[in-house]
Structure formats: C-alpha cells, structure tokens
Amino acid sequence: MASNKNLLMLPGDGVGPEVMHEVKRLIDWMAKRRSVSFNISEDLVGGASIDARGTPITEATVEAAKAADAVLFGSVGGPQWDKLGFAMRPEISILTLRKELGLFANLRPAIVLDPLVDASTLKADVVRGLDIMIVRESTGGVYFGEPRGVETLPNGEQRGFNTETYSTHEIERVARVGFDLARKRQNRLCSVEKANVMESGLLWRQVVTALHARDYADVELSHMYADNCAMQLVRNPRQFDVIVTTNLFGDLLSDLASMLTGSLGMLPSATLGAADATGRRHALYEPIHGSAPDIAGKGIANPLAQILSFAMLLRYSFEMDEDATMIERACTAVLASGLRTADVMAAGCAKVGTQVMGEALIREMDKQAA
Ligand code: NAD
C-alpha cells in the first residue's frame, strides 16, 4: 500500500524494543482493519547504536529523522553504558535529535484514566477525570543560557552560575503551540513564570499577553507564578487545561503533574519543532519512562505509554484524531476489564505481561471498529 506517512521508529534499549513491538502489532491491525499504512523505517539509537556503531546516534540516523514526518522513540540507556564518558552516553542520542530537529516544545499530558484513579497518591476526588497538558519550552532558558560555569573568586571561594535567557521569538513560538493546543481542547491557556522576581519572566508575560491580543483573543488566557502553580497542581489540578512554561519550571511542573496520575508506564509525551510554510513540523514522540533496566527482558513492561505516544503521533503529526481517540479509548477499556501490568497492579485485577496487554488492546480495537 503506498503511503505518504513517513515514520521513523527508534526503539532504543532495555524495554524500548519490547514496548515498541506492541505498537507494531497495532500498526499491522490498522493496515488490516482501517486501511491505514505508513512508510516505516527503523534504526538503532542509544546503547544499541554504541554497541553496533560506536556512537549513540549516527549522522545518517539524524538525517533519517529529519526526513521523516514523525519519529517514534522508545527509550535509551542502561548500566552497561554508564561508565562511558558524557559524549558517549546513550542519552546523547535524544539530546542530539532535539537539537538537530529544533524541537523546542515538549508536550506532557497528565491524564487520569478512570480505572487507574486509585493509583494516584492524591485523593480520587481531586484527580478523577484529570486531563491537562503541560507545554514546556525545551531548548532555551537556564539549561542553555550563557554565561554559565564555576569560577574561583578572589577570596578563594567558588561560585557557580547559570543564566536564564529568553528572547521574544523563543517565547512566542512556544506560546503559539500552547494557544493552538488550547483551541483544540477546552480553550484555556495558563502561562507560568516568575514575573515578580525575574526580568526574563516579565518579558515572558509581556510577550504572551501581546501575542494573545494579536492572534489568540478567543482563547482564555491566565498567568500564574510558578510556585503558585506547583501548589495549585496539587490542590486542584482540574482547574487547568493547557499550561505553557519555561524549560526549568516545565521540568519540575511536568514531573509533578505526571505523578498526579501515579503511573510512569502510562505516560506519553511529544516534542515539536516549528511549523514550516506548509504546516509540516518535525516531531518526536516518546514515553516519559526510561529503559527500565531492572525489568528489561522479562516481558513485563507496560506498553501503554509507548502506545499512547503513538496515539499522540497520529493526532499531532498526521491529524488522525479518530484513530488516536480509538486507541486512547481502547487503553481505558483494557484497564477497565481488569487487566494490569505489574506497575499498575491493583487488588482484584489480573496481572499480565507486555504481550498479553498488547493483544488485549487489539481485541478492544476490534470491538471499537465493529
Ligand atoms: P526508568 O523510567 O527507566 O525506570 C524507573 C522505574 O519505573 C523502574 O522501576 C522501572 O522498572 C519502572 N518502569 C519504567 N518504565 C516502565 C514500564 N513501561 N512498565 C513498567 N515499569 C516501568 O528510569 P531510571 O531507572 O531512572 O532510568 C533507567 C535508564 O533509563 C537510565 O539509563 C536513564 O538514563 C534512562 N532514561 C532514559 C530516558 C529516555 O530514553 N528518554 C528517560 C529517562 C531515563
């Protein structure tokens, strides 16, 4: 079947290939039952690439990622590569891809599926029905700002310093992603910074406000200081729809928000680049969990985060909303039927492995397509 959907799969290390296998099962099902096909290529990254090619990612793989319409990434890393120098670490592969593809907007949904409401450490009443999206700026801010370093002062003491910097275009482009997402959801965007104590935060607020007035007046915009946002996320997380924030605050707040759901093996993410004149943008999708070396090779990893990352890919790179929604509903249905991988196991449920979970998902897809 000819296809114009070019998809690069990079399963990586540890549980990465195991959970990616279940996405392949789903893709085969889509070809048969939905007549959807993809041009799929697959390549090595991370430790697998180090072992085979002596580098965490080759230039050819980076070029393949640039040529693809979307990249589905698994996870990289493991103790056997931990002793290598920083430039040879498996994690360099994902950092290289983010840089080379200009992926500046990291999308982290935090969704509490009804069957897993008790997995959260918060009360079920607080998180039931939660569905928020955090957009984290991911190529600027204090992690990349110059000057940075550690210097020795005249009195012999040492001083470490980093610089938070944001320019207008960096703020605008990530805010646009936030506004566009809000329009497809509940039409509410909360912009988060520390404009009360940081000049870069003040500029952030001014730029978002001006962009809102210029291009997005139909979206409900609010502003919040990052410390208050952390508190509000725990107090009443459902007040949020889309949150857009800086690299540093996004790092912290998205981890906090993901734990509202209580299950690492369930959480997808996307990282997007700028859209070109035709609307096409580089995009990489991956579960937020790592390579889970402690359970790799045992066939017990939860494949749902990888599968939900694929659903995000369908929605944001291929505008296949209907298929994405089907997959998301099938995930909820499988869990509601009482099947659980070990990481989300609950009393009264049946513990299953990666493959059985993947097969059960296909049966739910069958039911939905019937
Ligand atoms: P991790 O996410 O791999 O594992 C944390 C815990 O969650 C472990 O107990 C693991 O068994 C469990 N877990 C993770 N994914 C799971 C799944 N799908 N199903 C069931 N349980 C799951 O984090 P870590 O242990 O800190 O890191 C392990 C390796 O992964 C390190 O080398 C780290 O650098 C790497 N890492 C890679 C990425 C990435 O590829 N983007 C992200 C985070 C960590």
Domain count, the chain: 2
Residue 124 sits in the same domain as residue 239: yes
Catalytic residue among 5, 24, 143, 215: 143
Name every residue whose Cβ is closer than 8 Å to that of residue 162 and which is 6 or more positions away in sequence.
142, 143, 145, 148
In a domain, 278, yes or no: yes
The whole-number average pLDDT for the span 218-235 is: 98
- Rounded to whole angstroms, the Cα distance separating 29 from 360 reads 13
Of ligand 1's listed atoms, the one at least distance from the Cα of 292 is 3
The tens digit of pLDDT for each residue in 253-303 reads 998 998 888 778 899 999 999 888 888 899 999 999 999 999 999 999 999
In a domain, 109, yes or no: no
Residue 79 sits in the same domain as residue 202: no
CA of 182 to the centre of ligand 1 (A): 30
Residue 146 sits in the same domain as residue 93: no
**Of 343, 327, 326, 344, which is closest to residue 335 (Cα–Cα)?**
344
Question: What residue numbers bound the domain in which 183 lies?
Answer: 114-265
DSSP string, 104-150: -EEEEEEE--GGGGGGSSS-HHHHTT-EEEEEEE-SSGGGT-SS-EE
Determine what percent of the chain is predicted with pLDDT higher than 90: 88
Q: With a cut of 70, say whether residue 2 has pLDDT above it.
A: no
Residue 144 sits in the same domain as residue 245: yes
In a domain, 234, yes or no: yes
Is residue 251 annotated as part of the catalytic site, yes or no? yes
In a domain, 119, yes or no: yes
Residue 100 sits in the same domain as residue 118: no
In a domain, 253, yes or no: yes
End-to-end Cα, the chain, rounded Å? 23
**Of 190, 217, 218, 214, which is closest to residue 204 (Cα–Cα)?**
190
Is residue 227 annotated as part of the catalytic site, yes or no? yes
Strands 220-225 and 339-340 come out as: unpaired
Residue 237 sits in the same domain as residue 297: no
The tens digit of pLDDT for each residue in 308-333 reads 999 999 999 999 999 999 999 999 99
Give the chain's mean pLDDT: 95
Residue 258 sits in the same domain as residue 326: no
| Least confident window among 80-94, 218-232, 345-359 | 80-94
Q: Which two tokens stand for residue 224?
A: 């919040």
pTM as predicted = 0.92
> Which pLDDT score, from 0 to 100, does residue 84 have?
87
The tens digit of pLDDT for each residue in 102-115 reads 999 999 999 999 99
Catalytic residue among 194, 216, 241, 323: 194
The tens digit of pLDDT for each residue in 50-108 reads 999 999 999 999 999 999 999 999 999 999 999 988 778 999 999 899 989 999 999 99
Q: Which two tokens stand for residue 140?
A: 């600027």
At which of 214, 240, 265 does a domain end?
A: 265
Name every residue whose Cβ is closer than 8 Å to that of residue 289 and which is 6 or more positions away in sequence.
15, 75, 264, 265, 267, 305
Q: Which two tokens stand for residue 12?
A: 């990586």
- Rounded to whole angstroms, the Cα distance separating 25 from 300 reads 17
At which of 265, 298, 322 does a domain end?
A: 265
> Which pLDDT score, from 0 to 100, does residue 23 have?
98
In a domain, 188, yes or no: yes
Is residue 192 within 8 A of residue 226, CB to CB? The reply is yes
Q: With a cut of 60, say whether residue 1 has pLDDT above it.
A: no
Buried/exposed code over 83-95 (b: 16+ C-beta within 10 A; e: otherwise): eeeeeebbbbbbe
Q: With a cut of 60, say whether residue 210 has pLDDT above it.
A: yes
Q: With a cut of 70, say whether residue 122 has pLDDT above it.
A: yes
Residue 151 sits in the same domain as residue 251: yes
In a domain, 282, yes or no: yes
**Placement of tokens 């912290």 in the chain:** 252
Residue 26 sits in the same domain as residue 97: yes
CATH, residue 71: 3.40.718.10
Residue 76 sits in the same domain as residue 131: no
**Placement of tokens 């693809």 in the chain:** 68
CA of 317 to the centre of ligand 1 (A): 26
Q: What angle do CA 18, 22, 24 make, to 5 degrees?
A: 110
Q: With a cut of 70, say whether residue 188 has pLDDT above it.
A: yes
Catalytic residue among 227, 321, 366, 367: 227
Residue 119 sits in the same domain as residue 242: yes
Q: With a cut of 70, say whether residue 170 has pLDDT above it.
A: yes
Q: What is the dihedral of CA 176, 180, 181, 186, to 10 degrees?
A: 120
Is residue 255 annotated as part of the catalytic site, yes or no? yes
> Which pLDDT score, from 0 to 100, does residue 86 have?
77
Residue 146 sits in the same domain as residue 191: yes
- Rounded to whole angstroms, the Cα distance separating 189 from 244 reads 7
> Which residues' Cβ are closer than 6 Å to ligand 1?
15, 19, 75-78, 91, 94, 264-265, 286, 289-295, 301-302, 305, 341, 343
At which of 247, 265, 283 does a domain end?
A: 265
**Of 220, 140, 196, which is closest to residue 172 (Cα–Cα)?**
140
